[in-house]
Structure 1
Amino acid sequence: MKYYIIAGEASGDLHGSNLIKQLKIQDKNADIRCWGGDLMETAGGTLVKHYKERAFMGFAEVIKNLSTILGFIKFCKKDILEFNPDKLIFIDNSGFNLRIAKWAKAENFNTIYYISPQVWASRSGRVKAIKRDIDEMYVILPFVKDFYKKFNYEVNFVGHPLLDAISNRVQISENDFRTKHNLSNKPIIALLPGSRKQEITKLLSVMLKMPAKFNNFQFVIAGAPSQDYEFYKQFITSENVQFVSNKTYDLLSISYAAIVTSGTATLETALFKVPEIVCYKTSWLSYQIGKRLINLKFISLVNLIMDKEVVKELIQDDLTEESLTVELQKIIEGKDRDQMFLDYFDLEKKLGGKGASKKTVELILKNAKI
Structure 2
Amino acid sequence: MSEDTPLIYVVAAERSGDLLGAGLIKAMRSRYGNGVSFRGMGGEAMAEGGVPSTVSIEGLSILGFFDGLKAFSRIKERVAEVVADIIRHKPDAVVLIDSWGFMLRVAQGVREADPSIKLIKYVGPQVFATRPGRAKTLAETVDHLMSILSFDERYYRPFGLPVTFVGNPTLDRIEPGDGATFRARHGIAADAHTVLVLFGSRKSEIDRIGPAFVASLEQLKAEREVTPIIIVAGAVKEQLAPVLDHARSEFGAVIVDEAEKTDAFAAADVALACSGTVVTELATAGVPTVTAYKLGWLTWAIIRAFNIMKAPYISLVNIAADEMLVPEFVQTRCRGGLLAAEVSALLDDPKRRERLHSELAAATDKLRGEGDASENAAQTVFELTQ
**Above 0.5 in TM-score?**
yes
Residues 136 and 230 of structure 1, relative CA distance in 2, 3 Å threshold: closer
**Which moved further from structure 2: 125-134 or 174-183?**
174-183
The answer to whether residue 1 in structure 2 is matched with residue 16 in structure 1 is no
Offset from partner CA, 1:227-258 (integer Å, 9 cap, x none): 22563324625233232122333321321110
Residues 164 and 243 of structure 1, relative CA distance in 2, 3 Å threshold: same
Partner of 1:361: 378
Partner of 1:271: 284
Q: Distance in 2 between matches of 1:158 and 1:53?
A: 29
How far residue 213 of structure 1 moved from its aligned partner, in angstroms, is 3.9
Q: Distance in 1 between matches of 2:223 and 2:183?
A: 19
Offset from partner CA, 1:273-320 (integer Å, 9 cap, x none): 100011011321122223432222111111122222211100111122
Within the candidate set 347, 370, 373, 1:332 is matched to 347
Instruction: Provide structure 1 residue ranges, at least 5 long, that are not aligned to the other structure.
Output: none
The answer to whether residue 361 in structure 2 is matched with residue 345 in structure 1 is yes
Aligned partners of 1:194 and 1:224 also within 8 Å: yes
Partner of 2:255: 243
The answer to whether residue 99 in structure 2 is matched with residue 93 in structure 1 is yes
Partner of 1:136: 144
Superposition pairs of residues 71-150 of structure 1, within 5 angstroms: 71-106=77-112, 107-108=114-115, 109-150=117-158
Partner of 1:222: 231
Partner of 1:299: 314
Aligned partners of 2:228 and 2:252 also within 8 Å: yes
Q: Distance in 2 between matches of 1:172 and 1:327?
A: 25
TM-score of the two chains, using structure 1 as the length reference:
0.91
AA at the equivalent of 2:282: T
Aligned partners of 2:317 and 2:364 also within 8 Å: no
Question: For 1:60, what is the secondary structure of its paired residue?
Answer: helix
How far residue 176 of structure 1 moved from its aligned partner, in angstroms, is 4.6
C-alpha RMSD of the superposition: 2.2
Q: Distance in 1 between matches of 2:353 and 2:188?
A: 24
How far residue 74 of structure 1 moved from its aligned partner, in angstroms, is 1.1
Aligned partners of 2:280 and 2:364 also within 8 Å: no
Within the candidate set 31, 36, 39, 1:33 is matched to 39
Question: For 2:126, what is the secondary structure of its paired residue?
Answer: coil
Question: For 2:91, what is the secondary structure of its paired residue?
Answer: coil
Residues 57 and 130 of structure 1, relative CA distance in 2, 3 Å threshold: closer
How far residue 45 of structure 1 moved from its aligned partner, in angstroms, is 1.3
Q: Distance in 2 between matches of 1:26 and 1:87?
A: 17
How far residue 153 of structure 1 moved from its aligned partner, in angstroms, is 3.6
Q: Distance in 2 between matches of 1:180 and 1:11?
A: 28
Q: Distance in 2 between matches of 1:152 and 1:131?
A: 7
Aligned partners of 2:139 and 2:156 also within 8 Å: no
Partner of 2:271: 258
AA at the equivalent of 1:330: A
**Which moved further from structure 2: 84-93 or 97-106?**
97-106
How far residue 12 of structure 1 moved from its aligned partner, in angstroms, is 0.9
Question: For 1:212, what is the secondary structure of its paired residue?
Answer: helix
Q: Distance in 1 between matches of 2:303 and 2:40?
A: 30
Within the candidate set 4, 12, 28, 2:9 is matched to 4
Partner of 2:200: 194
Percent sequence identity over aligned pairs = 28
Residues 94 and 25 of structure 1, relative CA distance in 2, 3 Å threshold: same
Q: Distance in 1 between matches of 2:198 and 2:39?
A: 31
Question: For 1:88, what is the secondary structure of its paired residue?
Answer: strand
Q: Distance in 2 between matches of 1:162 and 1:333?
A: 30
Structure 1 runs, 4 residues or longer, greater than 6 Å off: none
Residues 269 and 214 of structure 1, relative CA distance in 2, 3 Å threshold: farther
Q: Distance in 2 between matches of 1:241 and 1:350?
A: 34
How far residue 156 of structure 1 moved from its aligned partner, in angstroms, is 1.0
Instruction: Provide structure 2 residue ranges, at least 5 long, that are not aligned to the other structure.
Output: 1-5
Question: For 1:226, what is the secondary structure of its paired residue?
Answer: helix
**Which moved further from structure 2: 102-111 or 52-61?**
52-61
Partner of 2:331: 316
How far residue 85 of structure 1 moved from its aligned partner, in angstroms, is 0.8
Aligned partners of 2:143 and 2:162 also within 8 Å: no
Partner of 1:67: 73
TM-score of the two chains, using structure 2 as the length reference:
0.88
AA at the equivalent of 2:24: L
Q: Distance in 2 between matches of 1:324 and 1:117?
A: 29
